[in-house]
Amino acid sequence: MKNGQILVHVEPGKVSEARLRYAVSMAQKREMKLVGLTVRLSPGGAVSTIATDIHAIAALCEASEECCRRAQAQFAAVTKGSGIECEWIEATGIPLQIIAAESGRADLVILGANDRRDPDGGVYEIAPADIVLACGTPVLVVPADAPVSFKAQRILLAWKSSPQAARAMKDALPLMKGADAVAITEIVPETVAETYEVSAQSVADYLALHDIQATVDRMPAARDTGYQILQAAADGECDLIVAGAYGHSRFREWALGGVTRTLLYDSALPCLMSH
């Protein structure tokens, strides 16, 4: 019996291949089906990138067609002999809209951090923040330097008394149940808000009901809270960070919280984020 479905965005290039191998490893260890998705740009999708005239749009769509062929070949080569159930999807349109829509039938979406470090990558950019804020599915953002083998034995949960953090924590319950160590890190601001808040210790008590024994580390806020979380994860030799994603969208102008931006773009570890 399969334990759900992973959706992974696939592009050509070495960075995407490493992310795909990470996704395959996770699907094997979690006994999940893996769905690979690539997007062929439609004229409207090309306009949503940097194309401005009819010739640039046509050239970008043609290049996108070739990228899709290379992505499919890469997916077939990496998943061959993996022993997992696989599905390949090649859709035409606007990448953000298609990925957000397809996430509705997945338990988890795996994306790259989009640091554009692969010159052989695709022709369009996917900002992970766009997907995190647009879809209702937890998103695992895998940086270019992440290991190709999935590992979640030591997990850091970045806690803040908020719906986003609570959702991320619950989305990560299956992973935390299989971990050797779970550390809840709570950054305490200098000024205490008057609103009622749930403490990290209360969260640890809740996790204990799920047979997850978590430690609690409360630390005073410094200048950059995001880097405090990254440093705590490094000090704890963690494999994975779990956090809520904060921000909102309006007409594709994304406003991110500072901590969310740091975790999305500066973390050397995979980050599981929910909004």
Residue 123's pLDDT is: 79
Q: What is the pLDDT of residue 60?
A: 79
Q: What is the pLDDT of residues 22-36, one digit of tens each?
A: 999 999 999 999 999
Q: What is the C-alpha separation between 179 and 155, in angstroms, rounded?
A: 7
Identify the three-state secondary structure at position 61.
helix
Name the CATH superfamily for 5-142.
HUPs (3.40.50.620)
The confidence score (pLDDT) of residue 16 equals: 93
For the four alpha carbons of 222, 225, 226 and 228, in that order, the dihedral sign comes to: positive
Low-confidence ranges of the chain (pLDDT < 50): 1, 250-255
Helix and strand element counts for the chain (H, E): 10, 12
Domain with CATH 3.40.50.620 in the chain: 5-142, 154-274
pLDDT in the model for residue 205: 98
Mind listing the pLDDT tens digit for each residue in 184-193?
999 888 776 6
Look at the domain 154-274 and name its fold: Rossmann fold (3.40.50)
Q: How far apart are CA 113 and CA 117, in angstroms?
A: 10
Instruction: Give the pLDDT score at 187.
Output: 87
Which tokens belong to 128? Answer: 């992970």
pLDDT at 250: 43
Cα torsion at 166, 170, 172, 175 (round to 10°)?
140
pTM of the model: 0.90
pLDDT at residue 251, as a whole number? 36
Q: Specify the pLDDT at position 157.
A: 98
Place of tokens 């988890």: 108
- What is the pLDDT, as a whole number, of residue 189? 80
pLDDT, position 53: 66
